[in-house]
Structure 1
Amino acid sequence: MKTITPNLWFDKNAEEAVNFYTSLFPDSKIGSISRFGKEGFEHHQMPEGTVMTMEFEIHNKKFIALNGGPIFKFNESVSYFVYCKTDEEIENLYSKFSEGGSINMPLDKYDWSEKYAWVKDKFGISWQLDMDTINSPQKIVPALLFVNDKFANVRDAVNHYVKIFPDSKINFEFPNPSIENIPGETLAFAQFSLNGSLFNAMSGQGQHNFDFNEAISFIINCDSQDEVNYYWEKLTEDGSESMCGWLKDKFGVSWQVVPTEMFKY
């Protein structure tokens, strides 16, 4: 299998979003683009020539943006850490991402970081900006936020994923504090690697009005039918199946298990 690729589900503005993201980071590029044709208009309602999917890279992290219609909306259940090297970098990203968006946590010093912010951009995607003190080998890292009845699932989820994917390991874990209303021996944060791709996982205290959905999924490009069958079986266990390679695992995270050839245009 190749590396795991985040898929971003937009309504009709994938092209605008990709142009915005690639303009913010110096080491970025746009790759393959597919467009809607005349056929199927009665279903997708997209004018001929409208972007269907766009591949793009930011600091060697590949993404795919999809114009899929208004079915799914981005929320904070999946966000993206950006590990910044300088004050100028983090302040510039904070300004650009928050313009037309919203601020969950303002840029400031926190217990866990000398400089950190959590912002939602004008397209609805959440970014956690952090001054890098760990020399992260991956500048942009997806983060899964487990909330409400999934609050205590961070450890189980990380262990589950690491067992499924090759070349995987847990890099570090931070437990939740032992205080009232916090389940014992739960994790506040973990970082782990799946087939060479870094992920973060977090637990969110309190009640939240969001959960994982298909707006952000993770594509597993498989080199053989055996690989397709393996990941499909492992990830649908206690989860749910959908069409065209889509599934939800037992924690509600969405994945796409597809042949590598599917994304060659």
Structure 2
Amino acid sequence: MTFRGALLTAALLSTAVAVGGCNTATPASTSVPSVPSGAVSTMTSAGSSTTTQATTTSAATSSSTSTGPATPTTPTSPAAAAPQRREKAALAGALLVLDDLPTGWSIEKGTGGGGGQLSSTTDAACADLNDLLNADGPKGSLVDASVGIDGGQDGPLVSERLDAMGTSAAATAVVGSLRDAAEGCRQLTVRLPDGTRARMRLSEVRAPQVGKGAFALRLTASGGDYDGLEITFLYAPLRDVLLSFTFFDAYPEELEGLSKDAEAKVVEKLKLGGQTT
């Protein structure tokens, strides 16, 4: 495998594992019901009352009758709306393809699998993040699809992944867990494509305005053959879909442009509609 191929393999592996939790994805052929985002519980109440009528008799006596006080009904919540279904083929169709990329870029196929532990740490402040980075996929993911992108001789290596999370709350929770886990963590030991391990500094970076509450973090290697190598992870909830990227040595404008193009395509192909930001 070439050096760039090894890097791309690592990128695909990183995206697959860097979003935390045990992967409970169903087989690709299975449609998975999910509760649509934005479902809000409403309550209705109804009361009934009767009117009081006065009846006057011809004997100059009068009497009135009235019903008892109204008994309010117990408010009830409506049944949950029909869940939205997402399939692997639909997610795959919302990924970036060659026509979406700059001239000279390409789509990578069959780059192989990685396997093994991506990162390690002895720092208690990094324990949660390390666990998320070494998990099989985002916790609660129902189905996923991913693609590798090669930016050419001087371009970055990129991996894009989409996970159907069932609800917007679930997608947002994954991003929140990563943000919380990264707080206070400053360094991780990362397994690089050639099998060596390198200490990499961790820092939160400004995320593009993609989705609602996007989060980005960067690992930077110092020393050795990979000195200066930057790996940037981006996570953006798009309603019930989690968009995630891994960028190897990407310029800010490449990260921004590619992620916004990906967001637009996901919104269009999966018919998310409305605002996702």
Q: Normalising by structure 2, report the TM-score.
A: 0.27
RCO higher in structure (CA 8 A, sep ≥6): 2
* More strand, by proportion: 1
Greater Cα radius of gyration, structure 1 or 2: 2
Q: Normalising by structure 1, report the TM-score.
A: 0.28
